[in-house]
Structure 1
Amino acid sequence: YDTLYTLDKLSQKGFQIGVIANGKSKIKQFRLHSLGLMHVINYLSTSETVGFRKPHPKIFEDMIDQLGVLPEQIMYVGDDALNYVAPARAMGMVSVWYK
């Protein structure tokens, strides 16, 4: 509930919401839909579509390009400090480690 509520509020305030995920696009879309989150997601970047897995910079660059913003305008939240949060921070994103 907290996640959906928070993402809904951010979306209502005009924030774009993207997901970067390792794995297959259809599976990630199904999971997001099952959780009731798909309606707030503006862009989904997966390793399947980009051809690179986190922590490779290309998957983060894809999100930046698709959202059309600067890295410093992105807040990246990840649950793996080394493989997810550190690469995002190295690209200039505000990065939050959520464990």
Structure 2
Amino acid sequence: MFNSLGINKYCDSVIISDEVGLRKPDARIFALGIEQLNVQPEQALYVGDQYDTDIIGSRNKGLKAAWKTSEQVDSDAHFQFSSWRQFILKLQQLEGNTWSSAMQK
């Protein structure tokens, strides 16, 4: 899927629940991603489209979170986007900034 969308170059780790036998919002699935990336939680960005499992789960583990949604509501996500094009533009905007200065939350 990521290849066809052109966003695979922005993904250093993709974890499929069925492949690892864990379901979100289980903290272990987020810990697995952090381990694969060999980073601290606050250095990783988790991208998801389900608020209850993806955004709350990743934030509970200390990750930065981007929420793909058409809703414009207040949330714990560091940013929201409604299209993958918008997501890529946001990532490009952030490339010149540090996470701490660009995504304070």
Confirm or deny a common fold (TM above 0.5).
yes
The unaligned stretches of length 5 or more in structure 1 are 1-30
Report the counterpart of residue 81 of structure 1 in structure 2.
51
Q: Let me know the Cα RMSD of the aligned residues.
A: 1.8
Indicate whether 1:41 and 2:11 are aligned. Answer: yes
Verify the 8 A CA contact 1:50 1:58 in the aligned structure 2. Answer: no
Distance 2:24 2:30 in 1: 8
Report the counterpart of residue 93 of structure 1 in structure 2.
63
Distance 1:96 1:40 in 2: 13
Higher strand share: 1
Higher helix share: 1
Alignment identity in percent? Answer: 36
Deviations 1:26-47 (A, max 9, x none): xxxxx22222333443222111
Distance 1:33 1:75 in 2: 19
The unaligned stretches of length 5 or more in structure 2 are 70-105
**Number of paired residues?**
69
Higher relative contact order (CA 8 A, sep 6+): 1
